[in-house]
Amino acid sequence: MARLAGKVAIISGAAQGMGAATARLFAAEGAKVVIGDVLDEKGRAVAAELGADVALYQHLDVREEEQWAAIVKAAVDRFGKLDILVNNAAVTHFGASEELRKEDAERVLGINLIGTMMGVKHAVPALKANGKGVIVNISSVDGLRGCNGLIAYTASKWAVRGITKSYAYEFGPLGIRVVSIHPGGVNTEMGNPGHESVETVNARSFRRVPLQRIGEPEEIARATLFVCSDEASYISGAEIAVDGGWTAGHYEPALPGCPDHLRG
């Protein structure tokens, strides 16, 4: 299939993990992709894998406005336009709230929230020039609930969820759709920093998730692909959980006598 044939996309944080998976899938579905990241070696490798006629790497610290302006210009100069922005870049910070340093909070909010806002700011003029476009903001399950020990990260991801809805109102009359995607645990550098086996991670951390397993980057990428395709042409302002059912509710162990598949 070529569900994104003729489309041009910028994807932040696309040197590895969900961003790289999204870049590969978009390219396979006919899009030209501009890969933005601070991990230059990895980012260039992904672009080289996809080929110069399909992909371009551009250094991007999402906190820096001039770098956003530069990557949008690079996309339009190389591929002629911009159709899609995927705000994927993010960092996390784990720890007790009473130990949270101001600089750590500013880093998380700067990358996850301000970076998303600056991406939208600089991409919208190019999207407007097309008369339509799609912005996907990658939030998290922690933008749909609370999470112990992730106060700054949770704050940033709830905010990403909120600004997505405001953007949907602001840009809808311009033909620009805006959607937030909320991944659960994903087998990436962030979601599995110890590079443990899937079996180990699942047994320790995912027994209370209804699907009882960690997600893979490609599974998040496929949801992003759908949202960016014309198949989702009437979806805007939505929040889409791609989390194995994590946010469906509290998963309790089954009572005695229940079928095996209902046991926690």
Residues identified as active-site: 153
180 dihedral zone (left: phi>0; alpha: psi -120 to 50; beta): beta
For the chain, how far is it from start to end, CA to CA, in angstroms? Answer: 39
- The secondary element (H helix, E strand) that includes residue 58 is strand 55-59
Q: Which of 106, 246, 97, 127 is nearest to 182 (CA)?
A: 246
Taking CA atoms, 90 is separated from 125, 155, 195, in Å, by 24, 13, 19
Q: Which strand (E) or helix (H) includes residue 32?
A: strand 32-37
Whose CA is closest to 4, among 236, 228, 246? 228
- How far is C-alpha 200 from the geometric centre of its chain's CA atoms? 25
How many CA atoms within 13 Å lie on the side-chain side of 71? 36
DSSP state of 194: T
- Are 187 and 217 spatial neighbours (Cβ–Cβ below 8 Å)? yes
